Structure 1
């Protein structure tokens, strides 16, 4: 009985071993996953996901610059860099400041936070100042933006305020979004007025013929005029006196 039981038990153990080996092999194979859906980059969705950017998003909608940035991102190879002020940064502004701006000024304010090229954190070390933004002009008293670094700290100066890049929110090689702790205020809108240009003194005109305008020439003309006038008066006197003498002699 014992030998018979062992005879049947041995094949059963082999079958169990083979079954467990097959099962473990099947479970160890990786399962295929569908790739995440890809689509055009959307700056609005990125800021919404990051939260604490409700004021900036409202300005994007009011000025329609959010749509313009998305179009530029998906139709240009240069990329975009956005310095995104948080809601706390906007709340630190003077009360009513944003409402006092015209529609054009609101557009320029948002554009001043957008650089029309991709800047990685390492590129801040070598960027050329002043940095051109979507607002355009970088001359003094307009829209200059200067970036300096101190170790890993990135500082931004507008001539009106100084800001610090607090965090990197998003980067994909085409779009870089950096959190800043201060709203970037451009010189053209919030800085002192540009000094009035210094008037250029008028240049004295050069005389073409010094002889014609010399005092001597003027004196000559006056003398000629006087002498001719004297001769005329003498002839007129002779014309009057002559007949008078004749009349007196007849009397």
Structure 2
């Protein structure tokens, strides 16, 4: 019996080794967990819709087709982009009819003015050289359509020359697209400056030397007429009284 057990020992050892090989093969043959797929293309309107208070701005991005332009450019450009998104309250605080008075081309320029063709963090905006170009820059000859940024610490302000407001929290801050909230619609000075929205009423015309104003002469004549008549009546009354007094004296003499 001892001889039989000794003969089986190598066989058992061999079976154990084969079993270990099969187990290791099964472990290595199991498929690895799939790696996370690439993120989908960036969609600016989807980011705004998730924010929940940008209905008007989203509608304008869609009607002007600028939303599609941003999506195409931000997914293909190495520079990235920055969008300043006015809230619905910001649009409601505009003067009534402000948007309706704009031509379709001016509406496009207004929306492009809220987009910079470069990715900026908030820290970048504090140190950037002003004015910062926007997508509206260069559309009109001699017009800058730039934004000016100031501030310190965690506060960043943006100025257009017409309004100034704070750049609030970020809806997106990862490259290549930054989307920041603003509480006022950014009105470019080139479109809404003082001469555009409040033209100064023309002052009174100055008289040229040697040129008379007929209406003024007529008024002067009418104003002078009563005094002339008054003087003439007083003179006639005085002559009549004197003549009567002379006739009365002659009557007594005779």
**Range of TM-score over shorter length:** 0.5 to 0.7
8 Å CA contact 1:118–1:173 kept in 2: the answer is: yes
* Equivalent residues of 2:137, 2:143 under 8 A apart: no
2:110 aligned residue: 109
The Cα of 1:193 is off from its aligned counterpart by 3.2
1:117-196 aligned at under 5 Å gives the runs 117-137=118-138, 142-193=144-195
Q: Which moved more, 1:36-45 or 1:99-108?
A: 36-45
The 5 A counterparts of 1:1-251 are 35=36, 38-137=39-138, 142-193=144-195
| Runs of 5+ unmatched residues, structure 1 | 1-30, 195-251
1: distance between equivalents of 2:193 and 2:131? Answer: 16
CA deviations 1:99-121 (Å, max 9, x no partner) are 11110010000000000000011
User: TM-score scaled by structure 2?
Assistant: 0.60
Instruction: Provide closer, same or farther for how the CA distance between residues 166 and 139 of structure 1 changes in structure 2, counting only shifts above 3 A.
Output: farther
Contact 2:162 2:192 in 1 (8 A): yes
Distance (Å, rounded) in 2 between the aligned partners of 1:103 and 1:148 = 31
List alignment gaps of at least 5 residues for structure 2: 1-31, 197-254
Q: CA deviation at 1:142?
A: 4.7
- Render the CA deviation track for 1:57-88: whole Å, top value 9, x for unaligned: 11011110000000101111000000000001
Count of residue pairs the alignment pairs up: 165
Runs of 4+ in 1 over 6 A off after TM superposition: 138-141
SS at match of 1:188: helix
Secondary structure of 1:148's aligned partner: strand
Q: How far has the Cα of 1:148 moved from its partner?
A: 0.5
**SS of equivalent to 1:98:** coil
Check conservation: 1:144, 1:187, Cα contact below 8 A: no
- Alpha-carbon distance, 1:145 to partner: 1.3
TM-score relative to the length of structure 1: 0.61
What value does the CA root-mean-square deviation take over the aligned residues? Answer: 2.4
Contact 1:155 1:165 in 2 (8 A): yes
Q: In 2, distance between residues paired with 1:173 and 1:83?
A: 15
